Structure 1
Amino acid sequence: MSVREVRVALGARAYPIRIGGGLLAAGDWAAEIRGRHVLVISDANVAPLYLARVEAALAGHTLGRLILPPGEREKTLQRFAQALEALAELRASRDATVVALGGGVVGDLAGFAAACWMRGIAFVQLPTTLLAMVDSSVGGKTAVDLPQGKNLVGAFHQPSAVIADTDTLATLPPRELRAGLAEVVKYGAIGDAAFFAWLEANVDALLSREPAAIAHAVETSCRHKAGVVARDETEQGERALLNFGHTFGHALETDGEYGSLLHGEAVAIGMLLAARLSAALGLAPPQDAERLQRLLVRFGLPAVMPAGHDPAQLLHLMRLDKKSVSGALRLILWHGIGDARIVAGVADDAVLDVLSR
């Protein structure tokens, strides 16, 4: 498969997103490493599969490694401190690089450590999940979670490069693949009705991991995100649209103590809640919410909230979300497929009604 490239246009901080099969083994990405010291951060699921080839590509550098337990529950201040200690043990200098090998948890935590070590060093994203390839590895959002909320402690810190080796998706568990597809659907839902229709026509090809379909989905998603990030790097306006479904979804993840739902599953439910709220407010036709639900269900994603969530508690958690302003909800809703909007001042009763259905 040929290598596809998308550039994130941020002036002197511009960087490439390379998409294709066999990229980790080819090792060309190691040219992005500037200095001598490199810390590779991965997790116990990914490291046995890909760490050896990554370290082989980095031959000649002074290497350190930090292997974390897998899962969102590990994206904590304590694991962040471990990453900083690993950099200290490596005697990492200002021209050191952190390499994030794994999914969104590893990428977020590794990027945050890179942002903070000596006030900011380089890092390279090597995403191995679909969700990380199309979302979390691109755009420079780095963070860890608190018990009170997701991604509350972090920094904007752009990577030097994103290397999306689509061959790694062959070892991705089916549930993780489906979770990543939720973020792919999001790009069609918020601003590309034609891509949404393409997804409807290619459900089977994507679920069977057909290489051309996967590459097209990743490239299209990355092009959308790269464009938004270039125009609004620190989320002062348009970039907030990328959070469609996330205010609801993050509340569900936090309320479930980061253990019951994968991020993409929570986002799928959150997008449906946002679409239903949009319909209830008269902003969008109800049939668009139904069309979104049909697509998510075909991808094997949840369409209803798990039992046990209290609507009032979810609303409380939504107020702590980073997209709220002075405690007032600022939600990403839509006028229909391909037309998301930022909406402030939504009444609590309307939100609670949707959460209670």
Structure 2
Amino acid sequence: MVDEQAVQAAKEQYQDRLQEMQEAEAAEEAAEAERQQRAERAAELAAANVGHVDAFRDEMLAEGGGDVGKLRQHASLLPLAQEFQAALNEAIDEYVATALEIGGLKREELSTFSEAFGEAKTEGTAEAQRQIAQYRHLVKRAQHDAGASGLTPSQLGAMQEANGALYEALMDMEMSQVERYGETIGAFESAYEELSKRLQETGSTFFNRARELEGAFTQKLEAAASELAEEEAAREAGSAEDEAVPEEVRTLLGDRETLTNALTQAHDTRVAQLDAREDEARAREVAALKGTIERLQADEYGRNRGAVVEIWNLVHVEHKNELLELGAPAHAEVA
């Protein structure tokens, strides 16, 4: 006899388990999509040389340790920190937006160059193949005209001259391409370097703005802390302590010199962090520019060396051996 309740319970358990699996799968897919978006965003920021902004933001907005950090948490000083945070975030957003725009222009410039350079190399290869095909046609026609009797010495000599002429033509083409490609790379380098300079200038403008914001924040913090110190002194004179203020903060507020030195040191630390981040950003951009240009130049050098070797082997090895087989003297020179 079938237990209907047991069957129904099993069905419900199965449905619950299936739903849990579907929800877990959907959650994992959503998490993976979010990770992918973060990775793409990080790559985009890094390509625009602003991958450091999140770490920089955290450094600048950190309350810091010690008494100054506790002082900044005081209720009367929190609005200053919030104002600084809003202004800094706005400056960072503007910096990132401009950097991404310039980064997009850099990618577009590189893409346009690569496409044009590739088309130019394709055209050069096609012309070289046309020259080689003409030579092959001459050889086949000479063989056809000679028939079974083989090539005469004069015919072989003509083929040797044609092979030498092919070598000169291919080398002339290659030298022309080297000059043309060099000019193309030079033009790209100028345009790309200009964009790189714009990005560096954007960074300098931002970091100067960040220094100004940090300086203004420190001044307001010092003024507010001084006022707070006066209030604390008045309370102490009346034998009434503010229990909301931690003992170590009251001690700091009671010593004006120590308070000023602590705030100044915190400011100097942030300015040093700013300077270091700016130097790092500039160094990365300079290295990226140098790396891009050197890579293109190295690729062109390798292409040229490969083309020269290929031309030499074609004329002085393949064609020369072919002419020897057709009856050319073994000591004959191919120009």
Q: Do they superpose with TM above 0.5? A: no
TM-score after normalising by structure 1: 0.19
The structure with the largest alpha-carbon Rg is 2
Compute the TM-score of the two structures, normalised by the length of structure 2. 0.20
| Greater length-normalized contact order (CA 8 Å, ≥ 6 residues apart) | 2
Identify the structure with the greater helix proportion. Answer: 2
Q: Which has the higher strand share?
A: 1
